[in-house]
Structure formats: structure tokens, C-alpha cells
Structure 1
Amino acid sequence: MFDDLCQMALRQTLELVSLTDEKLRGLTRRKLSREETYREVLGKVLGGKGRRGPSGIFIATEGPECTCCNGRVFHLREHELIESSDEISIDPGSSYALGLLSVEGSGDAVAVNWMDICNSVDDFQVLFHPQVTDAMEEPILNFVSSRISGETTGVLVAFNYPGRVTEYDADVLKSAATVMGSLLTVSQEMQETEQAFHYTVSALARACEAAEEDTGKHIVRVNRYAGALAANMGFNTSFVEDMAFFAQMHDVGKIRVPVEILLKEGPLDDRELQIMRQHPAYGEEIIGKAPRLMIAREIAIAHHENWDGSGYPKRLKGERIPIPGRIVKVADVYDALRSRRSYKVPLSHQEALQVFREGDERINPAAHFDPAVLATFFKIEKMFESIYESSILKLGLNRRMENRKPPGRERRKG
């Protein structure tokens, strides 16, 4: 029996190590939610057939200055962690299972069986919060309690292991609590880094568009168009999310184009046109070679390439053009047709559709657009119209609200 428990504890610990490795490799792109981490760690390691696991678990996070713990009771059923109580708030001093963790020298997990400290099972029940015993739906016979350390501190109390709980059960639960705390801490730090990354990218995109009227809304719309196209072309979620964010970087190279060229009314002369056509290459150079920005780089360099090879700056043809650039080309052209610029009036949605079908003096749909992207555009063109119209409506509402604000006092010059 002793050897069996050792082997089981070792197997469960190795599964924790494997799970930790798996989750750490996946943390680079997303934040693991607290609930997801609970389910992954406890459901896979403690629950299900062939594992020595508890029947119920109380998981709680500590409040300010550790004055109380707020959490819920869960049941483990075939690898699934099933919530079985509303939120319970417990003063650690009023609960035996939690109070033991506050005793000096009990920083590790604590394992307790009813017969070790009480005369009867009924006497054992009064040591626990009534809402916890109600949620367990059966008498509590034993428990293991452990701290969750890290960015999100808390407690983990597992109830009703088969037979007696042992130090090996305590070691496994302690390992699970450590994995939880580590994953949540790393996840939180990754989220903060990702937020800073997104803010920096968005700020750069806005700065590059600042000289042109209403281009702040333009980059938001292009993001949404590109995400809609990618999603409806069947790409995976990760690619769709990247397209819906990095499309705004398509004109980042314009930061190196003189303002007088960007805002010139009427057509550009040959010299000005040559300078303007350098902005994709400038964008690629500005974005650099970081792997995380690969899609942004492909969008910047390729969104003015044409399907027939007549575009710029590299005159790429067909599928040699990176797909992110082909998608953003359609999104960018639609929004340009719909938008007012210093050199053109805006078109209606129907007028823009006509250009995508038959072309105009600048656009040849069959020659310029990837046929698959173009077909998807026509399939979801109502979405494009809705994205544009909702953006314009929101802009109009914001301007009306600004006009209604009472005038502020004029600042004194001095």
C-alpha cells in the first residue's frame, strides 16, 4: 500500500510537470483565466479514473490584508471541475482547514483525518464553514489544505479522499497549488506585457496616420474589415486575431512621407508619386524583423501589390504576395473609396461595390485583387457597409457631444 501511494504521487507529480510545460508554451499568445487554470490543473491531475483524488475542493483567493477568503466549492467528476456553490466568504480564523495554514511552521500542505482529532464524524463537521459542508452534500471525512502563492494568493482545500489522507496526498496538492500560482503569475505578467505591446503598436499606427483627416477611424475600420475577411475565408482563430489587430500597420511607412505630399489636393507628380510608393518599404523597415510582428511586416510591404504583378514596391504576382497583404489590400481600397480625402469625395457603399465589380480609372478588380479574397468580400459586403456606417455614426455622435459642451475659460497668456 505504501509503495502504491508513492508511485501514484510520483505519477501525479510528473503529470503536473507535463501540464506546466504545456501551459507555459501556450502563454506567449494568451492569458490563462483563473477558472481555466483551476480546471486544467485539478481536473487533469486529481480527477478521473485511475487517480487518487478528492470528491470536492474549495478554491479561494485571499482578500485585502488576508482578512478573508472568497471562493467556491467544486466537485471533480471524470476530469471535469464542476462548480457546486455560490461564492463563500470565510474568515480564516473561523475555519479549521484554513486556520491551520496560519499556524507558524505550517507553510506546507496539511493533511487531516477525522478520527485523528475528533470522537465522531459529526464533531468533525463543525470545524468547517456551514456553506462548505452544505456544498459538499456529504459528511467531510478528511481534507488536505494548501496555500496558493504568487501573484494571485489563495487557498486550496481538498475534501474526502478515498480512505485516509496521507502526506503523499498533501505533497500532490501542494504541487498543484504551486503550479496554479506559478501559471497565474506568469500569465498575469504576460498579459501586462501583451497590453503594453498592443498599446505601442496602436500608438505607432495612430501617429503615422495623424496628418490625414479621419484616419484614426480609418485604421480601426481596416482592422475590422481584415478580421472579417480572414474569418470568413476559414483561417484559424490566431490568424484572424492577428489580422484584426495588425492591419492598422499597413501605412506605418507614411511617417517618412512628407506631409505636403500626404495632404496634396489633386494628383501627385512623378517625383511625389515615387516618394509615396516607397511607404510600404519604409513600413517594412520600421516594423523590423521581430517574429511577433511578422504579419504586420507582410501587411506593410504587400498591401499595394497587385494579383497580376503590376503593383508596388516589389511587383509580386499571385500567391507570391503574402496573404495578409492580399486581405488588407481589399480592406484598404474599400475604406479609401468610402472615405473623404483632400483629393477625392467619398463614395456610397453601392458605388464602391460598382468599382469592385467593374473597376474605374485606377482599379482593375480582376487584375488587382486575389480572386478568393474578392469573392469573400462580395459574400460579406453588408458587413463592410455596417462597419463603415457604424463608425461614421459614432464619429457624428461624438462631434455633436463635443459641440454641446459648455465653453471653458480661455487660458491666460503669460
Structure 2
Amino acid sequence: MSLELCHMALRQTLDLVALTDETLQGLTRRKFTSDELYGEVLGKLLGGNGVRGPSGILIASESADTACCNGRVFHLRHERLVERSDVICIETGSSYASSLVLLEGGAEVVAINWKEVCSSVEEFQAFFHPKVLAAMAEPILNFVSCRISGKPAGVIEAFNYPGHATEYDADVLRSAAVVMGSLLAVSNGMRETEQAFNYTIEALARACEAAEEDTGRHIVRVNRYSGALAANMGFNIEFIQDISISAQMHDVGKIRIPSEILLKKGLLTAKEMQLMRQHPAFGSEIIGDSPRLRLAHEIALAHHENWDGTGYPKRLRGERIPLGGRIVKVADVYDALRSKRSYKGAMTHQEAVAVFRDGDERINPAAHFDPAVLAAFFRIEHMFDMIYDSSVPKIGLNHTKKSKTKTLGRGDTEKI
């Protein structure tokens, strides 16, 4: 029996190692919450599908004042679904299983069976918090308790192993505690780094918008439009999150365009228009070739390309246009139509939607937009209106005043 238990413990430990490797490889794209990570780790530990494991697990973390631990009890239902209890507050020292590893001088991990410390199963139940017993919904016969290091510290307690709790079960639970503590620490560090990264690119995007009206709000809206389109089109959460932060970099190349051209009220000269049309290339150069900024690079370079190949700067056609560029093009054009600029007035939502449906002298929807992205726009166009209205000051801005496209005065789409 001991050899069989050893093999089971080894298999579970290898599963945890594989999860660790998979998680570390994906941490640059995924930041675990504690509940997400707990769920994945517990799926490797709880009994079911031939795996030796406990029938329930409590995971608790110390509160800020360390006066108690807040945790939940998890179960495996139908050998697949991990379920959890309501939050349980366990005061320090009030639970035997927690105190063994959390109190000063306590062991790192312990395995206890009722016969080793009590004369009856009923007596053994007094060692556990009443809400833990209620969540287990069965008498606790044995447990393994292990301290989780890190900030905040915590404890993982596994209840009711088949037969009795063993040293092998303790070793597996210790491995799980190390995995959770380590991966959460790395993930939290990655989250802080990501927040700093996002702040940096937001600052750069805002600097590029500083010369134009509506500073800052335009880039926020384009992010939100783009994320909404990507979500409606069924893309995964990583792509949705990425485009929702990368879209704001679409016009970063304008930092190289003189403000007298950006703010010019009349028609651009041929030379000025030629320079303006260089801003996508300028943007891609500024962003560079960092893998983390790949989507932002593609968006900056491709958001003025047209589906029929008549756009710029590379005259790409169809699916040769990077997907991010195709999505942001729709978002950027909508916001440009809705926004007041030095050279044009603002359209209502209904007028902008009409342009996307019927076109005008500058925009041919069927020729300029990816049909799939355009279809997604029409499915959620009401969301675009809500996003725009939620970010535009209502005082002193008549953004609903009709303004025909012929009043734009550019004769081209370089500012859209």
C-alpha cells in the first residue's frame, strides 16, 4: 500500500510541476487571481478520476491585522466541478488544524488522523471551525494542514483522505502550497509590471494627442470601441485585453507631424498631405519591434489601410491587413465622425451610422472596412454611442449638432 501511495503522490506532484511550468510560460499574458489559481491547483489535488485526494480543502489567507484568516472550503463535484463555500473567518488560534501550522513555532505541514489524538470521531470534530464542518457536510476523520508562504501568509487544509492521511499526502499538499505561493507572488509582480507598462504607453499616447482637441478622451474611446468589437467577434480574452490597451497607440506617429498641420483649418497642400500620410510609418518606427508591442505596432502601421487595397501607407488588401488594424480602423473612423475638430463639426450617432451603412464622398464602407468587423459594428453600434456619450462633457459641447461630411474641408480621410 505504501508503494501505491508513493506512486499516487508522485503522479500528483508531477501534475503540479506541469501546471507550474504551463503557468510560468503564460504569465506574461495571464495574471492569475488567487481564486483562479486555487481552482486549477485543487483540480490536481481533490479526489476523483482515480486520483487519491481529500474530499474537501480549505484555503485561507491572513487578514491585514492577522487577527483571523479568511477562507473557503472547496469540493470536487461529479469528479469534475470545483465548488466552494461562502467566506469563513477563522480567528487565529481558534482552529486546531490551522493553529498547528500558523502559530509561531508551528510545523510547516502536519498530517493527523482522528485515532491518533482522540478517543472518538465526535471528539475530533471539536478541533475544527463550525462553518468548516458545515461546509464539509460530513464528519472529518483526518486532515493534512500546510502553511502557504508569501504575503499574505495562509494555510491549506485537506480533509478526509481515503483510509487515513499519510506522509505522502503531506508531501503532495506541501508541493501544492509551494506552487500557489510561488505562482501568486510571480503573478502579482507581473501585474504590477503590467500596470506600470500600461501607464507608460498611455502617457505616450496622450503626449501624441496633446496638439489636438479632445486630448485623452479620443484614445480612451478608441480603446473601448476596439475591445467591444473584439469581444463581439468572439476573440479570446488575451486578445481583447491587448487590443483594448494597444489601440490607443494608433496615432503615435503624429508626434512627428507639426502642430500647424494637425490643427490647420483649411485644405492641406499636396506636400502637407504627403507628410500626414507618413504618420502610420512614423508610428511603427517609434513603437519598434518589441514582442510585447507587436499588436500596437501592427495597429499603428495598418489602421489607414483599406479592405480593397486603396489605403496607405502600404496599400495592403483584405486579410493581408493585420487584424488589429482592421478593427481599430472602424473604431477610429467612428470616433472621428463623432468628434469636433479644428476643420470640421461633429456628427450625431445616427449620422455616423448612416455613413457606415451608405458611405459618403470619402468613405465607401464595402471597400474600406473588413466585412466581418463592419458586421460586428452594426451589431453593437448602440454600445459605440454609449461609449462616446459617457466620455464627452455635456456642458459647452454641442456634439449632436448636424454637420454634413462636405464641411470637413479635407477632401480625404487622412484625419479619420
Q: Same fold (TM over 0.5)?
A: yes
Q: Which residue of 2 aligns with 1:195?
A: 195
How far is 1:214 from its partner?
Answer: 0.8
2:16 equivalent in structure 1? 16
Query: Is the contact between residue 88 and residue 131 of structure 2 (CA under 8 Å) also seen in structure 1?
Result: no
- 1:145 — aligned with what? 145
Aligned to 2:171: 171
User: Deviation of residue 26 (structure 1)?
Assistant: 2.7
2:183 corresponding residue in structure 1: 183
Question: Which residue of structure 2 lines up, in the alignment, with residue 301 of structure 1?
Answer: 301
Q: 1:232 to 1:73 in 2, by over 3 A?
A: closer
Q: Deviations over 1:311-360 (max 9, x none)?
A: 22222233322222122222212221221111111122333334334443
Give secondary structure in 1 for the equivalent of 2:333: helix
Distance of 2:74 and 2:231 partners within structure 1: 36
8 A contact 1:39–1:80 mirrored in 2 = no
Paired residue for 1:90?
Answer: 91
- Counterpart mapping for 1:343-362 below 5 A: 343-362=343-362
Q: Shift of the alpha carbon at 1:147?
A: 0.4
Aligned-partner SS, 1:73: strand
1:35 aligns with 2:54: no
Please report how far the alpha carbon of residue 139 of structure 1 lies from its aligned counterpart in structure 2 after TM superposition.
Answer: 2.6
The one-character-per-residue Cα deviations of 1:289-318 (angstroms, maximum 9, x if unpaired) are 111211111110111122333322222233
Greater fraction helix: 1
Residue number in structure 1 paired with 2:405: none
TM-score (norm 1): 0.88
Name the aligned partner's letter for residue 320 of structure 1: R
* 1:385 CA displacement: 2.8
Cα deviation per residue 1:201-248 (whole Å; 9 max; x = unaligned)? 212111111111114221122222222333333433332332232211
Describe the SS at the equivalent of 2:57. strand
* Secondary structure at 2:143 match in 1: strand
Q: Letter of the aligned partner of 1:222 in structure 2? A: V
User: Superposed, which structure 2 residues align to 1:214-233 within 5 Å?
Assistant: 214-233=214-233
How big is the shift at 1:79? 4.0
CA distance change for structure 1 residues 229 and 49 in 2, over 3 Å: closer, same or farther? Answer: closer
- Contact (CA 8 Å) 2:100, 2:107: kept in 1 or not? no
| 158-167 vs 314-323, greater mean Cα deviation | 314-323
Hey, what's the Cα distance between the residues in 2 that align with 1:133 and 1:311?
67
Where do 1:5-404 residues align within 5 Å? Answer: 5-64=5-64, 66-77=66-77, 78-91=79-92, 93-102=93-102, 106-392=106-392, 395-396=393-394
Secondary structure at 2:216's aligned position in 1? helix
What CA distance in whole angstroms lies between the structure 2 residues aligned with 1:234 and 1:131? 41
In the alignment, the residues of structure 2 paired with residue 266 and residue 391 of structure 1 have an alpha-carbon distance, to the nearest angstrom, of 28
Q: Aligned-pair distance for 1:382?
A: 3.1
RMSD: 2.4
| Identity, % of aligned positions | 68
Please list every run of at least 4 consecutive aligned residues from structure 1 whose deviation after the TM superposition is greater than 4 angstroms.
102-106
Larger displacement relative to structure 2 (78-87 or 114-123): 78-87
TM-score normalised by L of structure 2 = 0.87
- C-alpha contact 2:46 2:55 (8 A) present in aligned 1: no
Between 114-123 and 34-43, report the one with greater CA deviation.
114-123
Task: Give the deviation of 1:260 after TM superposition.
Answer: 1.4
How many pairs align? 396
The amino acid of 1:176's aligned partner reads A
Contact 2:219 2:248 in 1 (8 A): yes
Q: Deviations over 1:346-399 (max 9, x none)?
A: 12233333433444343333443333333443443333333323333xx22699
1:51-72: CA deviation from partner (whole Å, max 9, x where unpaired): 2212222221113364422223
Q: Secondary structure at the match of 1:221?
A: helix
Give structure 1 stretches of 5+ with no counterpart: 400-414
Which amino acid in the other structure matches residue 355 of structure 1?
V
